[in-house]
Structure 1
Amino acid sequence: MDEARLYLGATIMLVEDDIELAEMIQSRLEQEGFKVVHEENGLLAATRIQTLQPHLVILDLMLPGLDGFGVCREVRPHYHGPILMLTARGDDPDQIEGLQSGADDYVAKPVHPKVLIARIEALLRRYDQHGPVPSRRIEHGPLAMDATQREVTMGGHKIDLTTAEFDLLWYLSERPGQVLSRDQIYRELYDTKYDGYDRAVDVYVSRIRAKIGGKDEERVVLKTVRGVGYLLAVKESAS
């Protein structure tokens, strides 16, 4: 089955002030069966994203009213769908700041339609709550994750995670105590090869750690194993 058909009718909010580029992207996405809502102004987009709650947002960086970083930071507490950011080619600082602002992925300009569609489908597939999940709930000490509701709590307190953060933490939580390399994470979680340069997972780990904590004396800590990868360390409670 054509992958795009799985998401036939999904609403995408396209935030782009380059009219020619926006028309090209909108036309191609509509050919694939998506419903596209276009907005040029960052301030207006921030309001419309929260009101419309689209299935996915494509967000340019350079926008009138409010730039893409600002839009991302403003909507993240109220919008939990995937955000795909458009960045300048090879502009690593923009990519990192975009991810730190709450974006789930990025595509470099000039945008190749096939690459854009593949990224959109991957994000929608990861965000789909009805996909196959071996277990719907995971608990490690104070950390609890519910895949059906896509909710995370730490010590009973709700933790707000983006789509990408939730997926990565769930993946690590299914394999506590295992050191997982970047190659393995990209291959098994994102169904792609790690190119040696992508910083997305590094940023996700940093953001997750900041939200759930991560000191060595805590019972659950997300660790970076230098030169190897990451692991979720879970200490047994004292009895």
Structure 2
Amino acid sequence: MKERRVLVVEDERTIAESVAARLRAEGFTVDIAGDGPSAVERFRTGRHDLVILDVMLPGFDGLEVCRRIQADRPVPVLMLTARDDETDLLVGLAVGADDYLTKPFSMRELAARVHVLLRRVDRASTGGPASLRLGDIEISRAERRVVRAGAEVHLTPTEFDLLVHLAGRPRTVLPRERLLAEVWGWADGSGTRTVDSHVKALRRKLGADLIRTVHGVGYALEVPA
């Protein structure tokens, strides 16, 4: 089994050490960074499979860290926030975070979220056909790459997973709650704004007409001509 490496970015040392201890007990290799600049540097040299990222950091904040690491290499990001502020959460999702936890959180919940994120990446890479073609969009599941009109499009892991899920059922309207359950693994149906934020990102990167909104229900992928 492949060794999984996690980068924990948290300036409160006691929290960072507690998170690292729990993840090591789960079998992960863990690195810790305590500020924005060192987090970006550790990520660039560490080949991490997942990043746990606090929003409030010295140097520059977690949102800027997320932007920089996602530009370097797509990776699942679980953001930690000290307050349940919807604006902060939506901005975090917009810059490439995949999930979030509000402090205080249980280590059991954090470990469960980490496993769900990694399973989702594995499932999207191995399940279904190796590649999909929709008009001028080519999706390689194995390489987790998207090309449109010959140009590669950079997607975060969750953006890629959502696109693959919609592309597997073109023109079919999928409710937000179903997308949350099947893409994010959230069974309670809360957090539909998370879906909206990722759809907005896909439209920005792949074209505004790619995903159709059915108001009050959900979304459908329209096959480009």
In structure 2, runs of 5+ residues without a counterpart are: none
Please, which of 55, 63, 70 is the counterpart of residue 61 of structure 1?
A: 55
In structure 1, runs of 5+ residues without a counterpart are: 1-5, 216-220
Q: Provide closer, same or farther for how the CA distance between residues 130 and 180 of structure 1 changes in structure 2, counting only shifts above 3 A.
A: closer
Tell me how far 1:153 sits from its aligned partner.
Answer: 0.8
Could you say which residue in structure 1 is the equivalent of 2:166?
Answer: 172
Say which structure is richer in helix. Answer: 2
Tell me how far 1:209 sits from its aligned partner.
Answer: 0.5
Tell me how far 1:117 sits from its aligned partner.
Answer: 0.6
Q: Provide closer, same or farther for how the CA distance between residues 179 and 107 of structure 1 changes in structure 2, counting only shifts above 3 A.
A: same
Asked if 1:224 is matched to 2:204, the reply is no
Tell me how far 1:190 sits from its aligned partner.
Answer: 2.9
Could you say which residue in structure 1 is the equivalent of 2:97?
Answer: 103
Q: Which amino acid aligns with 2:208?
A: G
Preserved contact between residue 98 and residue 158 of structure 2 (Cα < 8 Å):
yes
Tell me how far 1:16 sits from its aligned partner.
Answer: 0.3
Q: TM-score, normalised by structure 2?
A: 0.94
Please, which of 110, 131, 134 is the counterpart of residue 128 of structure 2?
A: 134
Preserved contact between residue 126 and residue 141 of structure 2 (Cα < 8 Å):
no
Please, which of 16, 37, 41 is the counterpart of residue 22 of structure 1?
A: 16
Preserved contact between residue 89 and residue 110 of structure 1 (Cα < 8 Å):
no
Q: How does 1:1-239 map to 2 (within 5 A)?
A: 9-128=3-122, 132-215=126-209, 221-235=210-224, 237=225
Tell me how far 1:87 sits from its aligned partner.
Answer: 1.3
Q: Provide closer, same or farther for how the CA distance between residues 110 and 26 of structure 1 changes in structure 2, counting only shifts above 3 A.
A: same
Q: Distance in 2 between matches of 1:13 and 1:30?
A: 12
Could you say which residue in structure 2 is the equivalent of 1:218?
Answer: none
Q: Distance in 1 between matches of 2:119 and 2:171?
A: 27
Q: Provide closer, same or farther for how the CA distance between residues 187 and 130 of structure 1 changes in structure 2, counting only shifts above 3 A.
A: closer
Tell me how far 1:24 sits from its aligned partner.
Answer: 1.0
| Residues 181-218 of structure 1, C-alpha deviations (whole Å, 9 max, x = no match) | 01211222333324344421111100011000123xxx
Report the more deviating stretch, 106-115 or 126-135.
126-135
Could you say which residue in structure 2 is the equivalent of 1:3?
Answer: none
Tell me how far 1:53 sits from its aligned partner.
Answer: 2.0
Structure 1 consecutive aligned stretches of length 4 or more whose deviation exceeds 3 Å: 129-132, 194-198
Q: How many aligned positions are there?
A: 225
- The higher radius of gyration belongs to 1
Root-mean-square deviation (CA, aligned residues, Å) is 1.6
